[in-house]
Amino acid sequence: MDCSPRPPSARPADAESEADSPTTPQAVRRALDLLLRSGDSGSALLAAREIRLLTKSSQRCRRLLSDAVQPLVSCLAADGELREAALLALLNLAVKDESNKVKIVEAGALEPIVSFLRSDSMELTDYATAILLTLSASTVNKPLLSSSGAIPFLVRILEKGSQQAKIDALMALYNLSTHSDNIAVILKADPVPSIVDLLKSSKKSSRTAEKCTALVESFLKFEEGRDVLTSEEGGLFEIVDVLENGSLQGREHATGALLTMCQSDRSKYRDPILREGVIPGLLELTVQGSPKCQRKAHTLLRLLRESPYQRSEHQPDTLENIVCNIMSKIHGEEQPEKAKKMLTDMVQVSMEQTLRHLQQRALVCTPAGDDLPFANKRTTKGAFKVGS
């Protein structure tokens, strides 16, 4: 991620530490006893804070403390410090624990957590967004989060939240979008302007830009999504920028997004896409992208040509002819030579990469001289040489 991390007090540790001390079971029992048997908010607050510390980096403690979920969810109805401590304890309990994620939602946590998204306290809103991100990673929870009404509030956080909350809201929306029924619900909340704004401020190779582009790609299956993106100032340019400068996965999402647009209505979207200067990036992807991305790039180039359904017998449907056709129509008759040079450069890069790969394989696979059968009887006559 290309953003500042949330303060340690507000986020669970990424690294798992299984080096629990010998006293861990006793500490777990004490924390549970204090939480379950406490009759006052002060004891519950101490228990919630202890559980949060125990589960910060220990997967074992998260399992041992699963019985704390229900009483902690009940504490979300409290005010002030107890509510916050219970929320952070639940956040740590949910990290990398599918069972606890599901259990938290089943215990009725969504209603109070979603209400926290409307809070005037930015800190509480940030914590609520973080735990929704964690809970949204569960396949079981995805439809439940949608039906809870969380999506419009996540989109609002994406627009007006703190920088970290915006990132967390984006990631939560991405997780929810992988459940196909949620895509239309997310799109209805009008997230595209905020996503484009986030793209503008993000490094294009970042995970943030990758998830932004993945979300946009899913929206473009709908006419409403295509209309919103093209009407948003700089929206199409940002996608082309990811196609040129993004991560491998981000570039694939960007290519897929533009391909979806062209396939839906080529006559409507061809010229806007070309005006953003997409050709150099597509050419590069035809030789340097993943196999799937290469296929998408080739298909998109064919759709961007002037006459995709007609070709002369004297002008075969090669990548060179497709690119020359596109470039001549956009910039004038002198551009085909530039297009040919661009294509030649891309092919040269591909050949050099292939040769290096073959040389590396040869170094790995060739046995030592003493291991060759009849090594002392063989000559180099007729030997195969790379490049001959």
Per-residue confidence of the chain (388 residues) as pLDDT tens digits? 344 344 334 444 433 444 355 468 899 999 999 998 867 899 999 999 999 999 998 999 999 999 999 999 999 999 889 999 999 999 999 999 999 999 999 999 999 999 999 999 999 999 999 999 999 999 999 999 999 999 999 999 999 999 999 999 999 999 999 999 999 999 999 999 999 999 999 999 999 999 999 999 999 999 999 999 999 999 999 999 999 999 999 999 999 999 999 999 999 999 999 999 999 999 999 998 899 999 999 999 999 986 544 444 444 455 555 555 555 444 444 445 555 555 565 555 545 544 555 566 566 555 554 444 433 333 333 333 333 3
CATH of domain 202-356: 1.25.10.10
**For residue 377, what is the DSSP state?**
G
- Say if residue 339 is exposed, middle or buried (CB neighbours under 10 Å; 0-12, 13-18, 19+): buried
Inter-residue contact 44 to 84 (CB < 8 Å) = no
Q: Which helix (H) or strand (E) holds 127?
A: helix 122-135
R_g (Cα) of the chain, nearest Å: 28
- Token pair 């990758």 is found at 210
Distances (CA, A) of 357 to 100, 293, 339: 46, 20, 27
pLDDT of residue 39: 76
Q: Give the model's pLDDT for residue 129.
A: 98
Where do the domains of the chain lie?
202-356
The tally of CA atoms less than 13 A away on the side-chain side of residue 319 is 21
Side chain identity at residue 155, one-letter code: V
Beta strands in 78-234 (DSSP E): none
- Is-contact 105 135, C-beta < 8 A? yes
Q: Please, what is the angle between helix 80-94 and helix 122-135, to 10°? A: 20
Residues 279/346, Cβ–Cβ less than 8 Å: no
Query: In the prediction, which pLDDT does 337 show?
Result: 57
Q: Are 319 and 301 in contact (CB under 8 A)?
A: yes
The pTM (predicted TM-score) of the whole model is 0.78
User: Which pLDDT belongs to residue 301?
Assistant: 95
